[in-house]
A and B are shown apart, each in its own frame.
Chain A
Amino acid sequence: MLADVSFWVLGIVAVLSGFAVFRLNSMARVTFALLASFLAVAGLVVLLGLGYLGVVTALMMVIEMVVMAVFMIMYMMNPAGLMPMSMYHNKAGSMAISVGTFAVLAVGILLTDWPVRRGVPAPAQTYQLGLALMGGQMLTMMTLGVTLFATIVATVVLSTGRGRYDRYGDDLAAPRADDPAGGGVG
Chain B
Amino acid sequence: MDTGDRMALPLWWVPLLPVLLIVVTAGVVAVDEAAAARARGAREGLLGSAVVPLREGARLLVGQRRRTVAADSVLWRIGGATLPVAALLAAAVVPLGSRPVADLTDGVVWFNAMEVLAWAAVWMVGWGANSALSLVGGYRFVAQGLAYELPHMFALITAALAAGSLRVTDIVAAQQDLWFVVIMPVAFVAYLVSAVAMAFWGPFDAAVGRDLAGGAAAELSGVDRLVFAGGRWLLLVVAVAMAVPLFLGGGAGPWLPAWGWVAVKAGALLTSVLWLRRRFPTVRMDRFTEVSWVVLVPLTVAQALVVALVVLGRGM
Contact = CB atoms under 8 A, between A and B. Distances in A.
Return the 8 tightest CB-CB contacts between A and B, nearest first. A51-B1, A183-B290, A184-B287, A59-B113, A184-B291, A184-B290, A66-B119, A52-B106
A91 B88 CA distance: 44
B139 A185 contact: no
A49 interface: yes
Contacts of B78: 32
Nearest to A43: B1
B110 A55 contact: yes
Contacts of A67: 142, 146
Interface in A130-162: none
B286 A29 contact: no
5 contacts: A49-B2, A65-B120, A69-B127, A80-B70, A183-B286
B75 interface: yes
B72 A55 contact: no
Given A70-B142, A183-B290, A184-B287, A59 B75 contact: no
Nearest to B135: A73
A181 B286 contact: yes
A140 B214 CA distance: 48
A63 interface: yes
B98 interface: no
B123 A55 contact: no
B288 A66 contact: no
Nearest to B3: A51
Given A80-B72, A125-B2, A182-B286, A62 B106 contact: no
B120 A62 contact: yes
The main secondary structure of chain A at its interface with chain B is helix
Contact of A63 (B116, B130, B139, B294): B116
Interface string B72-114: 1011001000000000000000000000000011100110110
A32 B105 contact: no
Contacts of A29: 72, 74-75
B156 to A, nearest CB: 11
A183 B106 contact: no
Using C-beta atoms within 8 Å of the partner chain, give the interface range for chain B. 35 or more
A51 B130 CA distance: 38
Given A59-B112, A66-B119, A67-B142, A82 B105 contact: no
Contacts of B75: 28-29, 32
Given A65-B120, A181-B286, A184-B290, A70 B139 contact: yes
Contacts of B289: 183-184
Given A62-B113, A62-B116, A62-B117, A51 B123 contact: no
Interface of B: 1-2, 70, 72, 74-75, 78, 104-106, 109-110, 112-113, 116-117, 119-120, 123-124, 127, 130, 139, 142, 145-146, 149, 166, 283, 286-291, 294-295
Contacts of B145: 63, 66
B160 to A, nearest CB: 11
Contacts of A59: 109, 112-113, 116
A114 B288 CA distance: 54
Interface string A18-39: 0000000010110010010000
A108 to B, nearest CB: 30
A55 B156 CA distance: 15
B142 A66 contact: yes
A41 interface: no
Contacts of A182: 286-287
Contacts of A82: 70
Contacts of B112: 59
Interface string A68-82: 011000000000101
A17 to B, nearest CB: 13
Nearest to B78: A32
Interface string A97-110: 00000000000000
A29 B24 CA distance: 35
A52 B72 contact: no
Contacts of A185: 290-291, 294-295
A126 B167 CA distance: 11
A10 interface: no
Contacts of A56: 109, 113
B161 to A, nearest CB: 11
Nearest to B119: A66
Contacts of A55: 1, 106, 109-110, 113
Nearest to A56: B109
